[in-house]
Structure 1
Amino acid sequence: MKQSILISLVWLFAFLRQPIQATETIKVACVGNSITYGTGITNRDADSYPAQLQKLLGKKYSVGNFGKPGATLLAHGHRPYMQQEEYQKALDFSGDIVVIHLGINDTDPRNWPNYRDEFVHDYLKLIESFKKVNPQCRILLAYITPIADRHPRFISGTQQWHEEIQEAIKVVAQISQAELIDFHTPLYPYPLLLPDAIHPNEEGAHILAQTAYSAITGDYGGLKLPILYTDYMVLQRNTPLRIHGTANTKTPVTVSIDGQKKKTITDKNGKWEVILDPIKAGDNYELSIQTPQQSHTFHHVAAGEVWLCSGQSNMQFMLQQTQDGPTAASQAHNSQIRLFHMKGKWETNASEWPTNAIDSVNHLLYYQTTSWKECTPNTAATFSAVAYYFGKMLQDSLKVPVGLICNAVGGSTTESWVDRHSLEKYFPAILKDWTNNDFIQGWARERALLNLKQSTNTFKRHPYEPCYLYEAGILPLQQYPLKGIIWYQGESNAHNMEAHYRLFKLLVNGWRDNWNNPDMPFYFVQLSSLNRPSWTWFRDSQRRLMNELPHTGMAVSSDKGDSLDVHPKDKRPIGERLARWALNQTYHYSLLPSGPLYKKAISKNNEVIIEFDYAEGLHSSDGNPLTGFELAEHEGKYFPAQAIIEGNKIKVYTNQVKNPQYIRYGWRPFTRANLVNKDQLPASSFRDNIQ
């Protein structure tokens, strides 16, 4: 017995002394075209995306680069990948993981228009060939990387075909049960990382490598939450609430608030979300978000009404700058109003930015880090005056917490707030060479070029650039639940009302799409009075936009303008007029939302009868006869007309026009037109044909 034990111990000792066999290396085959190959990258052996992926994955993995410049997925394409030497090498490699990024070259007019019906079939055949040499391999299909609007074929078909190929890749993944990874979204807001409009530079390749690394390992950097999740945050009351973020793959996440506890597990792309049951108005909730490794608890959370307040300098205009600012700020003690103030790190004033600022802006790092704050004299003083007065009137009326997110940038253009996809699809001309593009106001271009004067980069970004503020300031909000939006902007687009007419619709519809709410209220301010000739037409175009876009309302501000100052200092009426639209249209209070709004004009015996909406109690604001009405028989030759109030209508006439065909009101850049209704709310200026 002793001998047997001794022999066993000897064998055990010998076994323990044997070197431990290393775990077998996991092989990753990166299959693709020139983007995988590393075209345009100075040291592709070190900086192509497969090379950077190897560094991220470490020694447990062996990454092979099997990219072929110019290769198409389509077998009938001009350079089919499956006919190239790199394809055979990829098969011989027999990867345990195969990352496929093909389809960019299929957008060539030689390929997609002729052979699009073969794409899914050819892709499935490619996948099957890798499965044949290694039946256990993981297949990761990448959505194709962006093609920037600078590409010469972008408008002639590339943009549309690119989208169609993305949809085809999704179908391939569904049929093959392959994993989808997104090479498109992380690069899309960064066109500067595509110097030739197609090939990512070293930094862009790093984004692709990081995307592939996270997909392979499930490492998404732990629990991450949107920037609006802080203490004192306001959640939208009385509606199912989407709470979401990212964490490592297959991580359990628990969200708790007010007795609710919702659990989920992150998906393979590191994303998670729960839908909380509606929460009643209150101001001292705790929101807890936990994983087994991390925990965030947010204190003093309120539930109430959340509004985004955006635009340019007249929305940015601080409470302390207004004519009654010091008094108003000193009285701004209200814990039921919470403020989230998104401020730029650098003002867009007349100065040259330092190179570190330019680099940050190029990387969409324009905004300062901020958090929710209670409304106090200190926090209100530097907050938007229009937003503050809007929120104060809502809170006084609704008696619930109100959360105001201010994201306004002085001088910003409408196009800078529009999402890239909308402009690429519906207004691509405005994207082309934006610092020399007449669609963009000359003042805005000159100011941007001054700010960026120290830039040495051929491509440079600025808050006034098309898409920029959407990408830097709206996307980071990550669809945080809102009740609605108020907007004060247009001064930087008043030079071209036709372009603005298209852009404003894209903005409103794009933001509603982003928040997945086609009926989201959007209330905006009509430009005030100022001695700028184009403003008459621009104000009228804003009035017409309100009539064409559902769930919008326009606050008239012409009576509060300053003939010499683009920043009128009496902001309280403007904020409260926006609040009237919200209280009437969104919260169904029975108060007038607006001053008289022109409906139609009818000719009767050489006189003109005008009908208005919100016309109760028509009178002049100053007690004098009505002014500002004009008639014309021929467009361009108007004569002042007398106006008489008859109930809720107005009769207009002049002996100088026998057969009136056109009418206008308040048609001056700086107008003293004086028509108001019973609540002293001013009528909008207008111009129209007479029926």
Structure 2
Amino acid sequence: MKTFLVTALLFISSMVSHAESIGVNNNIIAPDTTTVFKTIDDTKLSLHIFNPKGHQITDQVPVIVFFFGGGWAGGTPKQFYEQSRYFAEQGVVAISAEYRVNKVHGSTPFDAVTDAKSAIRWVREHASELGVNPNEIIASGGSAGGHVAACTAIIEGYEDANEDLSVSSKPNAMILYNPVLDTTEKGYGLDKVGEAHKTDISPIHHIKKGLVPTLVFHGMADHTVPFENAERFNRVMNEAGNRCRLESYKGKDHGFFNGFYFRGNKADKTVYADLMEKSYAFLKAQFINTDVKPSNIFSDHMVLQRGMQVQVWGTAKAGQDVSVSFAGQSKSTTADVYGAWRIELDTLQASKISQDLILKGDNNVVVSDVLVGEVWICSGQSNMAMRVKAVPDIEALVPKAKHIRSFEVNRTVSLKEEAEVNGTWSAQTPNSAVAFAFAYYLEAVGDVPVGILHASWGSSSIEAWMPRDMTQDFEYYKTIMKDFDADTLTQNRLKSIIAKGKSRTNKEDVYLRRQPNILYNGMMKPLAPFAVRGLVWYQGERNTRYISGVPEVTEANWFHKVSGMKEYGEVFSGWVKQYRKVWHKDDMRFMVVMLPGYGKGTEKTPDIDPNDPAAESWAWMRESQLQVLNLPKTSMINTIDLGDVKDIHPKDKLPIGKRLALVAAKETLGKDVTAQGPKMKTVEIKNRKLIVTYKNAEGLKTLDGESPTGFWLADDTMQWKPAQAKIKGETIVLSAKAVKKPLFIRYAFSGKPDVNLVNGADLPAYPFRTDHED
């Protein structure tokens, strides 16, 4: 059997050809070139090569070599075309290699191992023509292909004697997908290797110290290759002192790692994306990462949260030692196989004096001008995004601001959860009028530096800020995301808009921010788990289009696929719970800005009487928002006395900032202040009158000295009539001549109610209703 290697001359000339194109979801996948790397008699084995865009042979980039699965009996390099394309898009040369299989060549698993070693050797020998680094080769594969990839690094022998054995056939790292790691009766393939040779090419039986870094992906429900094999392999590798990481996937069977081309509709897009991201992160950590680098959110002028443990994280070369020093503390760790590191600083004390945060590894990084104080996220849609310059009374406060810093999250989206946030810290005050006003008054009452992480975008629904994990809890959201994932046209349009960066049009900008999930992915997820006191949320307007339910979506109203007002409360409560999980912080504070007065109705009935308690108005959204108070560590900022009957973007933002600061001062700083207005406590029926008892009602009064307004009564006919109201201590006595047997109350339950009831701190009474009519 004669074997020879293709020369460099043949590689760059006669042996290069274009391979068959593969269609995946209307996208064409095809290697840039194929080249024969080995010939045995009449059998030619080829490498299917995918190059990064604009790749030059002088680039010297890493290279990943994939080996297909098929039980050493069948299979095709096309199995890894999708993965190869992914890596090429990341700037890595990717190769899907052929090797002999039994059904075509009458070969054995031992022959497959020899061919895999030949492929690695050929790539290293021809690195200069390929434009790759000969010392940055990753062997990869799935199932039996994962086995032969593992054998190139672990198993001695089985080299082709006709090759130049001075060139190593060992890769520099491995990424294995559901690999065959044990060929004995405990694993897979005993019938193919034979009882007498069952451990000869069984990777788990040849583990020793000094093996290359390895990443293993395995489905826990694998019925072909036992998951136990992967667990045992990982344990033995680490016990031998090798760097090995096992990523397990609950409920996933054999072959789950493949994308849509190879598995069709059975492919799990989310899992596939996760696999690829982790695979590339692993590759980067071995060959691309060099310097210690903190996450983008750790930069000059930042504010760290006082009074709690603070996590600092970033990247480095895998295995590199990293230390962080700040405020007299010094903590150290080691970067994992992905190059990720994370250090937790002990509780910090507030400080207006700037300090340096110092990172050390193979290089040093100094983050300068760092303060310690209160840190809050401010997020939502256009009313949170409204700029300081749009509100003169807030803009006038800017010259008086002292120790206020801001991190402005750039408005962007992503189809996957990003690890890095796009934005910068600044010693300047926040751009958001509400966020700055809040920070200004909080700094004044707390006498402590304040840092604001501002992440908002106009006309965005809550669905835009929802993690994909919430599909497990809300069927409507599961449907939305299923439709979104299947919409190839939208996916492609989003990618093209994202690629434009800041040059996108306003129409394209609107298209981005009105999609589900992708604002969370790009703007919120990468902030976690930066230590914060809590989150201020001013959003809901986009979800007031419908009183209830998710509407039928047409081409004209594509952006209305959101929950209605009555569903918002349950969804929002789930949203808060999910964010606390993401931040790993059960006591994370949430302060919610109630939607203020506005005189428009729903899509169904846009023109309403702004004082009508029965109209389809924002009153229903406010009631939904208030449901969040059933969760601990939540607060609702009452704005029922604010707003504009015609303008959805009212300018009276200063009171909102003040009220936010009051609540934060009381609930998080322990200040003895009155922070909220009167809240209905009980209702008593007495002599054809209804008596409302309030809490937070010390000094109960009206701002204009007139009788309280905004109260409506009804009997069992549910016909609402305006009530006469009188203040009696900390109660309100209500009656209505037109309602002989009043049973129910609605207070300030309309689009833009006329209200004047406050407590001694001039804070408005909260809206409520006592009926249960839907």
TM above 0.5, yes or no, is yes
2 CA distance for matches of 1:617 and 1:204?
57
Q: Quick one: structure 1 residues 657 and 465, their matched pair in 2 at CA, closer, same or farther if it must change by over 3 Å? A: same
Q: Give the C-alpha shift of residue 525 in structure 1.
A: 0.6
Q: Residue type of the partner of 2:746?
A: R
Q: Residue type of the partner of 2:516?
A: P
Q: Secondary structure at the match of 1:559?
A: coil
Of 279, 295, 319, the residue aligned with 2:364 is 295
Residue of structure 1 in register with 2:585 after alignment: 517
1:341 equivalenced with 2:408 (yes/no)? yes
Q: Deviations over 1:503-557 (max 9, x none)?
A: 21122112211221111111011001111233011111212322x1211111111
1:502 equivalenced with 2:570 (yes/no)? yes
Residue of structure 1 in register with 2:703 after alignment: 621
Q: Give the C-alpha shift of residue 563 in structure 1.
A: 0.5
Is the CA contact 1:143–1:166 (under 8 Å) kept in the aligned structure 2?
no
Q: Give the C-alpha shift of residue 90 in structure 1.
A: 6.0
Residue of structure 2 in register with 1:421 after alignment: 469
Q: Give the C-alpha shift of residue 429 in structure 1.
A: 2.3
Q: Quick one: structure 1 residues 88 and 218, their matched pair in 2 at CA, closer, same or farther if it must change by over 3 Å? A: closer
2 CA distance for matches of 1:559 and 1:300?
41
Residue of structure 2 in register with 1:262 after alignment: 331
Q: Quick one: structure 1 residues 627 and 92, their matched pair in 2 at CA, closer, same or farther if it must change by over 3 Å? A: closer
Q: Give the C-alpha shift of residue 292 in structure 1.
A: 4.3
Q: Secondary structure at the match of 2:344?
A: strand
1 CA distance for matches of 2:571 and 2:388?
29
- Percent identity at matched positions? 27
Q: Secondary structure at the match of 2:704?
A: coil
Is the CA contact 1:520–1:551 (under 8 Å) kept in the aligned structure 2?
yes
Q: Give the C-alpha shift of residue 181 in structure 1.
A: 5.5
Q: Quick one: structure 1 residues 61 and 221, their matched pair in 2 at CA, closer, same or farther if it must change by over 3 Å? A: closer
The aligned runs of 1:178-189 (5 Å cut-off) are 179-180=244-245
2 CA distance for matches of 1:365 and 1:590?
41
The aligned runs of 1:239-318 (5 Å cut-off) are 239-318=308-387
1 CA distance for matches of 2:519 and 2:64?
41
1:130 equivalenced with 2:130 (yes/no)? no
2 CA distance for matches of 1:344 and 1:46?
27
Q: Quick one: structure 1 residues 594 and 454, their matched pair in 2 at CA, closer, same or farther if it must change by over 3 Å? A: closer
Q: Give the C-alpha shift of residue 630 in structure 1.
A: 1.3
Of 604, 611, 618, the residue aligned with 1:535 is 618
Q: Give the C-alpha shift of residue 172 in structure 1.
A: 6.1
Residue of structure 2 in register with 1:154 after alignment: none
Of 514, 518, 529, the residue aligned with 1:479 is 529
Structure 1 stretch 88-97 or stretch 222-231: which is displaced more? 88-97
2 CA distance for matches of 1:608 and 1:233?
53
Q: Secondary structure at the match of 1:371?
A: strand
Q: Quick one: structure 1 residues 92 and 337, their matched pair in 2 at CA, closer, same or farther if it must change by over 3 Å? A: closer
Q: Residue type of the partner of 1:135?
A: I
Q: Secondary structure at the match of 1:684?
A: coil
Residue of structure 1 in register with 2:47 after alignment: none
Q: Quick one: structure 1 residues 204 and 276, their matched pair in 2 at CA, closer, same or farther if it must change by over 3 Å? A: closer
Q: Secondary structure at the match of 2:427?
A: strand
The aligned runs of 1:462-473 (5 Å cut-off) are 462-473=512-523
Runs of 5+ unmatched residues, structure 2? 1-62, 71-75, 97-119, 124-129, 155-169, 180-185, 239-243, 250-258, 488-496, 547-563, 602-616
Aligned length: 573
Of 36, 40, 51, the residue aligned with 2:95 is 51
Of 433, 442, 448, the residue aligned with 1:400 is 448
2 CA distance for matches of 1:291 and 1:327?
42
Structure 1 stretch 333-342 or stretch 410-419: which is displaced more? 333-342
Q: Give the C-alpha shift of residue 245 in structure 1.
A: 1.5
Q: Give the C-alpha shift of residue 564 in structure 1.
A: 0.6
Residue of structure 1 in register with 2:397 after alignment: 328
Q: Quick one: structure 1 residues 625 and 288, their matched pair in 2 at CA, closer, same or farther if it must change by over 3 Å? A: closer
Q: Quick one: structure 1 residues 171 and 430, their matched pair in 2 at CA, closer, same or farther if it must change by over 3 Å? A: farther
Q: Deviations over 1:28-87 (max 9, x none)?
A: 7757689992255797998899628977974347666654xxxxxxxxxxxxx57xxx57
Q: Give the C-alpha shift of residue 101 in structure 1.
A: 1.6
Q: Secondary structure at the match of 2:405?
A: strand
Structure 1 stretch 291-300 or stretch 522-531: which is displaced more? 291-300
Q: Secondary structure at the match of 1:406?
A: strand
2 CA distance for matches of 1:416 and 1:402?
27
Is the CA contact 1:239–1:278 (under 8 Å) kept in the aligned structure 2?
yes
Q: Secondary structure at the match of 1:561?
A: coil
Q: Secondary structure at the match of 2:396?
A: helix
Residue of structure 2 in register with 1:678 after alignment: 760
2 CA distance for matches of 1:417 and 1:401?
28
Q: Deviations over 1:648-669 (max 9, x none)?
A: 1112122333333321111221
Residue of structure 2 in register with 1:222 after alignment: 291
Of 58, 76, 80, the residue aligned with 1:38 is 80
Whichever structure has more helix as a proportion of its residues is: 1
2 CA distance for matches of 1:529 and 1:519?
31
Q: Residue type of the partner of 1:59?
A: P
Q: Quick one: structure 1 residues 204 and 233, their matched pair in 2 at CA, closer, same or farther if it must change by over 3 Å? A: closer
Instruction: Point out which structure has higher relative CO (alpha carbons under 8 A, 6+ apart).
Output: 1
Q: Give the C-alpha shift of residue 316 in structure 1.
A: 1.0
The aligned runs of 1:96-245 (5 Å cut-off) are 99-102=175-178, 130-131=202-203, 134-136=206-208, 140-143=214-217, 179-180=244-245, 198=268, 207=277, 210-214=280-284, 217=286, 219-245=288-314
1:551 equivalenced with 2:641 (yes/no)? no
Q: Give the C-alpha shift of residue 208 in structure 1.
A: 6.0
Q: Secondary structure at the match of 1:689?
A: coil
Is the CA contact 1:30–1:50 (under 8 Å) kept in the aligned structure 2?
no
Q: Deviations over 1:150-181 (max 9, x none)?
A: xxxxxxxxxx989xx99999966765556225
Q: Give the C-alpha shift of residue 234 in structure 1.
A: 0.7
Q: Deviations over 1:412-460 (max 9, x none)?
A: 11111121112345441232335999xxxxxxxxx99xx99999xxxx9
Q: Quick one: structure 1 residues 615 and 161, their matched pair in 2 at CA, closer, same or farther if it must change by over 3 Å? A: farther
The aligned runs of 1:334-413 (5 Å cut-off) are 334-344=401-411, 370-375=423-428, 379=429, 383-413=431-461
Of 636, 639, 643, the residue aligned with 2:721 is 639
Residue of structure 1 in register with 2:665 after alignment: 583
Of 598, 601, 606, the residue aligned with 2:680 is 598
1 CA distance for matches of 2:147 and 2:406?
60
Q: Quick one: structure 1 residues 544 and 402, their matched pair in 2 at CA, closer, same or farther if it must change by over 3 Å? A: same
Is the CA contact 2:93–2:132 (under 8 Å) kept in the aligned structure 1?
no
Q: Give the C-alpha shift of residue 594 in structure 1.
A: 1.1
Q: Quick one: structure 1 residues 539 and 91, their matched pair in 2 at CA, closer, same or farther if it must change by over 3 Å? A: closer
TM-score by length of 2: 0.64
Q: Secondary structure at the match of 2:535?
A: strand
Q: Give the C-alpha shift of residue 599 in structure 1.
A: 2.7
Residue of structure 2 in register with 1:351 after alignment: none
2 CA distance for matches of 1:538 and 1:482?
27
2 CA distance for matches of 1:173 and 1:623?
79
Q: Residue type of the partner of 1:597?
A: K
Q: Secondary structure at the match of 1:286?
A: strand
Runs of 5+ unmatched residues, structure 1? 1-25, 68-80, 104-120, 146-159, 185-190, 346-359, 438-446
Q: Give the C-alpha shift of residue 577 in structure 1.
A: 0.7
Is the CA contact 1:223–1:248 (under 8 Å) kept in the aligned structure 2?
yes
Structure 1 stretch 572-581 or stretch 255-264: which is displaced more? 255-264
2 CA distance for matches of 1:276 and 1:516?
16
Is the CA contact 1:344–1:367 (under 8 Å) kept in the aligned structure 2?
no
Is the CA contact 2:296–2:421 (under 8 Å) kept in the aligned structure 1?
no
Q: Residue type of the partner of 1:651?
A: V
